Amino acid sequence: MIVCLSTTWRFQTWRYSVNLLPVLDSNTQTYTMKSLRKVISAPSRVFRGMDPTGLTSRVTRYFWPSVCLVFFVLYLICNTYNVAAPPRSRRTKHHQGEYQAHVAPAAGRITERNRVNFTSVKEDWRDNIVYPQVDITDFPPLDPSVCPSMKEDIEIAPANSMPLIALASFPRSGNTWSRSLIQIATGYSTGSVHWETERNLPRVKDWFKAGVEDFMLRKGVCVKSHFYGPGHVPIFEDGAILLLRNPYYSLASEFLRFHSRQLNDTEDFIVSIMKNEDERWTRNYLPTYDKWKNTALSWITRCKRLMIVFYEDLERNTVYELTRMVAFLGQPIQPMRIQCAVHSYASMQGRMNHTSQMNFDPYTTALHQLLDGYIEEVNRTLIRKQAMPLPTYKKYYQET
């Protein structure tokens, strides 16, 4: 090999020098030829005085370690970037009209008693927004005795076995409640893009078990996300479920949560901040208003396959909305599991409703104008896509 490289070096150098010499004068040609002799003889000088045995020993010494290093790097690449992922975890082509369920359910999970045909789910498309068509009229009556076991048999899916679908929302919009419902309804745990900061939380370790690992491993049936950046949304190649809640409620709830959990303020103190129109509420909190709007607009405009769930609809008709979410995720529709999910977590309905904590409207006139403008902007975007508009949002507190 070394002899071949040396010969090639000499030949290529000589070939280019021959083409160059005719354009040079005699003095320059003499100097150039001396320089070329040094260049051409360079490989010979490198190995001069080295006997064949020593040369072979030196090549052998570095050859096998180099081969091992190459294979080790290839191993890391294959296991990190999912080069050989199974077909069902690769990018899904979305065709308007139906979405094939392409994730195999766990063995023995489905019985004839609770089976519903899920080979294909009809979908109504409005631009990039999807409305799964489901029917819950033939669901059997709930048997509460089977619910405890369904709450205990939640599994973490094998790596690379799930589509990459986000459960996106602004904070305090029902994400935790929806994840709990989905886990029981499907029998699979849910992941989170915030896994690095949440994996040590007791609730995550005990309940959202797929949320302790990198969400790109595709072990969760869906992935919690409060992010909305232009580089984040396209990561979820199989789509997203966007939870939208009345911002008058979610913003106030998030303000209460942040100050109570992060700053350890008492509830009475936080309420007084809002009632007295403190700048921590009226001015410093304004970027969070933008975040509500940007979360909605980013997912609506950038996601290629999006299902929108209004929190108010989920609270009002939980079985139907949960069935739609299960269908969108490509999972089998199992009526008993869906009804057990609603039965087990019905107590979470309304837990984020803080109207009982206040008997006043915390939003100033300027804040109302700002927030109403954001609601209208999101609504116009939905209407432009011929999608269902936002519900008529009532103000935070209205005297009766």
Three-class SS state of 222: coil
Global pTM value: 0.72
Report residue 360 as tokens. Answer: 């006043």
Q: Tell me how far apart the alpha carbons of residues 363 and 398 are, in angstroms, rounded to a whole number.
A: 12
End-to-end, the C-alpha distance of the chain in Å comes to 91
Count CA within 13 A, CB hemisphere, residue 36: 17
Residue 130 to residue 124: CA distance in whole angstroms: 6
Per-residue pLDDT in tens (0 to 9) along the chain, 400 residues: 444 444 444 444 444 444 444 444 445 445 445 554 554 455 455 455 555 566 566 666 777 778 788 888 777 776 554 433 333 333 444 444 444 444 444 433 444 333 444 345 788 999 999 999 999 999 999 999 999 999 999 999 999 999 999 999 999 999 999 999 999 999 999 999 999 999 999 999 999 999 999 999 999 999 999 999 999 999 999 999 999 999 999 999 999 999 988 888 898 899 999 999 999 999 999 999 999 999 999 999 999 999 999 999 999 999 999 999 999 999 999 999 999 999 998 755 555 455 456 678 999 999 999 999 999 999 999 999 999 999 998 776 555 4
The arrangement of strands across the sheet holding 166-169 comes to 98-100, 120-126, 129-132, 306-310, 240-244, 166-169, 223-225, 191-192
- Give the C-alpha separation, 145 to 131, whole Å: 33
Query: How many Cβ atoms are within 10 Å of 86's Cβ, its own excluded?
Result: 12
Distance, in Å, from the CA atom of 3 to the CA atom of 10, rounded to the nearest integer, reads 11
Max CA distance (Å), the chain: 106
| Cα–Cα distance measured from residue 292 to residue 169, given in angstroms and rounded to the nearest whole number | 9
